[in-house]
Amino acid sequence: MTDERPFAGKRVLVTGGARGIGAATVRRFLEAGATVAIGARRADSVEALQRALGDQARVVAAPGGLSDQASCAAVVEAAVTDLGGLDILVNAAGVFEEVPFEAVSQAHWDTTIDVNAAGTFFTLQAALPYLEATGGNAVNLGSDAGLIGFPPSSAYSAAKAAVVNLTRALALELAGRIRVNCVCPGNVATDMIDAAAETSGDREAYLAAARSRAPIGRMARPEEVADAILYLASPRAGFTHGAILSVDGGGVCGF
């Protein structure tokens, strides 16, 4: 982008904004001139990022879980109240845990679907009137696991596949009202991957396998995914609608 601050004056809500891809996205939007509401389940994690950013004037907090329709609406309302409106929604909140199919409990299924799929659905539903009022747009965070099988994570794969097809369905239903797109990362070097590696029983082997899933031989940096999100949210993507953009080093191309 030729403009060094292409999002100046724009108001952005990033759910899952206190860590990983979400935090990188918050930083990128701030660098580009936006005012950003950080959505996260824990208020203390939002406050910690606010302190680290050191730019309180253009960062507000919208803490709260995304477990049901009411909580999603509350997060959106908190953001809009402080921002004074909404131009861009980034649905980056998510949970991930590797659980073999036979071991999936009702609780694991419910949490995985509620946060990753229902949270995306109902947050966008609550944000729609505000985005429509400003001619705004939404970017959902899918996953390569929503495009190809990813064992042993059947619940997560199902949830992210729902996000992918939700994006396509809303691209048709909301056409002419707002733009809706989706970024599907592969493995990204975040604390989420670190946590999975720690519980795998062989951290180094797990991380090596994570790197090898991408033909280019490494994991993505959170900032690389954030850059794709900002592109889709920008005016340069004005004719991009219903897109499913893979940022995975070629991992979904095949084996």
Are 12 and 29 spatial neighbours (Cβ–Cβ below 8 Å)? yes
In a domain, 249, yes or no: no
Q: Is 44 inside any structural domain?
A: yes
Residue 181 shares a structural domain with residue 119:
yes
The count of domains in the chain is 2
Point out the catalytic residue in the list 130, 156, 206, 231. 156
Residue in 13, 63, 62, 53 with CA at minimum distance from that of residue 31: 53
- Per-residue pLDDT, 57: 67
Q: Do 49 and 70 belong together in one domain?
A: yes
Residues 210 and 226 in one domain: no
The reported pLDDT for the residue numbered 1 is 42
Rounded to whole angstroms, how far apart are CA atoms 117 and 108? Answer: 13
The answer as to whether 155 is a domain residue is yes
Structure tokens at 163: 């996000």
Measured on CA atoms in the order 128, 89, 133, 233, is the torsion positive or negative?
negative
Those residues whose C-beta lies under 8 Å from the C-beta of residue 32, and which sit 6 or more positions away, are 1, 4, 5, 6, 7, 8, 230
pLDDT in tens, the chain (255 residues): 456 789 999 999 999 999 999 999 999 999 999 999 999 988 888 888 888 888 666 899 999 999 899 999 999 999 999 999 999 999 999 999 999 999 999 999 999 999 999 999 999 999 999 999 999 999 999 999 999 988 899 999 999 999 999 999 999 999 999 999 999 999 999 988 888 888 888 999 989 988 998 999 999 999 999 999 999 999 999 999 999 999 999 999 976
Tokens of 179: 């733009």
Confirm whether 254 is domain-assigned.
Answer: no
246 belongs to a structural domain: no
CA Rg value for the chain: 17
Question: Do 19 and 141 have their domain in common?
Answer: yes
Measured in degrees and rounded to the nearest 5, phi and psi for residue 227 equal -60, -40
247 found inside a domain: no
- The residue written with tokens 């590696």 in the block is 197
Q: Tell whether 110 and 208 lie within a shared domain.
A: no
Same domain assignment for residues 111 and 26: yes
Active site residue 156: yes
Do 133 and 192 share a domain, yes or no? no
- Contact between 122 and 66 under an 8 Å Cβ cutoff? The reply is yes
255 within domain boundaries? no
> Are the beta carbons of 9 and 33 closer than 8 angstroms?
yes
Do residue 137 and residue 229 come from a single domain?
yes
CATH number (domain holding residue 82): 3.40.50.720
- Six token digits for residue 68: 């049901």
Pairwise CA distance, residues 149 & 66, whole Å: 25
Domain hosting 193: range is 187-219
Residues 127, 213, single domain; the answer is no
Q: In this structure, are 58 and 117 located in the same domain?
A: yes
Statement to judge: residues 126 and 211 lie in one domain: no
Kindly state whether residue 193 falls inside one of the protein's structural domains. Answer: yes
172 and 70 fall within a common domain: yes
